[in-house]
Structures are given as structure tokens and as C-alpha cells.
Amino acid sequence: MSIYLTLKALHLISVVTWFAGIFYLPRLFVYHATAEDQVSKDRFVIMETKLYRLIMNPSMIVTLVLGVWMLWLNWTGLSNQTWIWLKIVLVITLIGYHHYCLGIIKAFIRGDARHSEKFLRIFNEVPVLILVSVVFLAVLKPF
């Protein structure tokens, strides 16, 4: 088994775990925004913080380290392909989304719900669009 295929398998596993958190955390935000009692709000802060720190952050780091490693191994063949640059831009966008989620968590901790339930429901769908785009780019390599 080649090192590249091992890296790819581990990369895909870490992507799956990262996206599990990326999909679940904004859903927790929606529930948190609609919670009315303090006990529920406190429980959501604990859930959001643990999900972010214990699952999402490590998964993101492993995803990025393995992705960069695979890029480094194949850079000569990939660097002139447009699809990989678009994929990189989408991954950078997802990293921004990930960090924006931390800002939302911190706002909830302060009791400053700066986003409406409607915004959070729409915000919840953004990673789906990124995931679909990245998968199609990586599999089809259209340009």
C-alpha cells in the first residue's frame, strides 16, 4: 500500500469527522437561539464548546495537515490545474466558516445572540454547498 493512499484514506476520515461537527454545530446554534430557559442555554454552550474543541478543531487540523502533505507529494502535477485552486479556495472558506462558528459560540457565552434563528438556519446550509462543490471538484477534476 502506498503512502499516498494511506494519507488519502486518513484525510477522508478526518474530513468526515470535521464535517460531522460542521453540520451539527450550526444546528445546535438554531436550538440554542430558540431556547428560553437558562438551563438549556447553559447546556447548549457546553455542547457547542466541547464539539468545537474536542471534535472539530482536531479534525480540521488533521484534515489540513494530510491535505497539505498530499498536495506537497503531487504539487508538480496539480499546480497547473484550475480545479485544485478552486478546491483550495473552498477549503479556506470552510476554515473561515469554522472560525466564525467560534465567534458565535463566544457570543452565546456572553449572552449576546447576535444572529436570528432564520440566519442560523441559512448559515447551517453553507457547508453543504462547500462539501458538494469540493467533492465534485476532487472526483471529476473538471478543469
CA 49 to the chain's CA centroid: 15
Does 1 have pLDDT greater than 90?
no
At 113, the pLDDT band (50, 70, 90 cuts) reads confident
Domain boundaries, the chain: 3-140
pTM, whole model, 2 decimals? 0.94
Read off the pLDDT of residues 7-20 as tens digits, 9 standing for 90 and up.
999 999 999 999 99
Does 118 have pLDDT greater than 80?
yes
Instruction: Give which of 71, 68, 94 is closest to 81, Cα–Cα.
Output: 71
Read off the pLDDT of residues 33-58 as tens digits, 9 standing for 90 and up.
999 999 999 999 999 999 999 999 99
